[in-house]
Amino acid sequence: MSTAKKSPDTKAALRGPLRIVTIGGGTGLSSLLKGLKQHASAEEPVIALSAIVTVTDDGGSSGRLRRDFAVLPPGDVRNCLVALAEEEALLSQLFQYRFSSGRGLKGHSFGNLFLTALTHLTGDFASAVRFASGVLASCGEIIPSTAENVVITAKLQDGTLVTGESNISKTRSPIRDVRIVPKRPKPLPEALAAIADADLITLGPGSLFTSIIPNLLVAGSAI
C-alpha cells in the first residue's frame, strides 16, 4: 500500500468545489451572489455557494406581509433566489414582478407572495425557501439566518432607541450599538453546518447595522 502524501492540488481536487458562505442582506448580498453564480453553475463548478440571509426587514412589501401574515420578511431572500436562479428567464422575472395597482396587491412582488403562501403550506419559512430554490433551480443554498420573528433596535449616541430596520436606515444620528429582539435567537442548523464546513466566508457588501450585524447577533453563528 502506498503511503505517499498527496499534493495540495490533489487534495483540493478530491475535496471538490471551494465552499463559500456569504452572509448579509439587502441588495448587496444578491449582487454578490449574481457575480459568483457563474463559477457555481458551470459544467464543472469550482465553488459551492451557501447564502445566509438576514430576516429583519420591516419595510415595503416584506414589512406588510410580515405584519399581515406573521411570516418572516421574504424580500431579501427573494432577491437571492433570483440571483442564483439557473437562468434569468421568465420565471425569474415573474418572481421579481411587482404589482403596480390593485387593492391590497399594489407594491407587492409576486415572489414575496409566493414565499408567503409557501410558508403557510409547508409550515415554516425555511422549507418554503428550499422549495422555491428548487423551482428556480438555484445554483446554491439559501438559508434564513433564523426562523424566529426578530426585530433589530439601535441606540443612538444621544441615548435615543430606534426600533426596526426601516427606521434605523433613516436615522442620521451616530449609532452607538445594535441589538436584536428576542436576544440571541436560535440559528437554523443548516446555517451552522454551512459555516462549519466553509472554506471561505464573506460578510456583505451592505449596511453594517441592518444587513451584516443582525446575522452575527444570532446565537451560535458569530464567526
The pLDDT value recorded for residue 92 is 81
Up-side HSE of residue 28: CA atoms within 13 Å toward CB?
Answer: 18
Which of these, 181, 217, 208, lies nearest to 58 by C-alpha position?
181
CA 24 to CA 56: how far, in whole Å?
11
CA 69 to CA 112: how far, in whole Å?
12
Which of these, 221, 223, 213, 215, lies nearest to 176 by C-alpha position?
213
C-alpha pair distances (Å), 29 with each of 23, 24, 80, 83, 133: 7, 6, 7, 9, 16
The pLDDT value recorded for residue 190 is 93
Neighbours of 220 (CB within 10 A): 12
Whole-number average pLDDT of the chain: 86
The pLDDT value recorded for residue 222 is 53
For residue 104, what is its C-alpha cell?
391590497
The pLDDT value recorded for residue 172 is 87
pLDDT tens by residue, 180-198: 999 889 999 999 999 999 9
For residue 57, what is its C-alpha cell?
426587514
pLDDT surpasses 60 at 8: no
Cβ contacts of residue 10 below 8 Å, gap of 6+?
Answer: none
The pLDDT value recorded for residue 91 is 79
pLDDT surpasses 90 at 27: no
pLDDT tens by residue, 74-131: 999 999 999 998 766 777 888 888 988 888 888 899 999 999 999 999 999 999 999 9
For residue 175, what is its C-alpha cell?
449609532
The pLDDT value recorded for residue 6 is 45
pTM for the model: 0.86
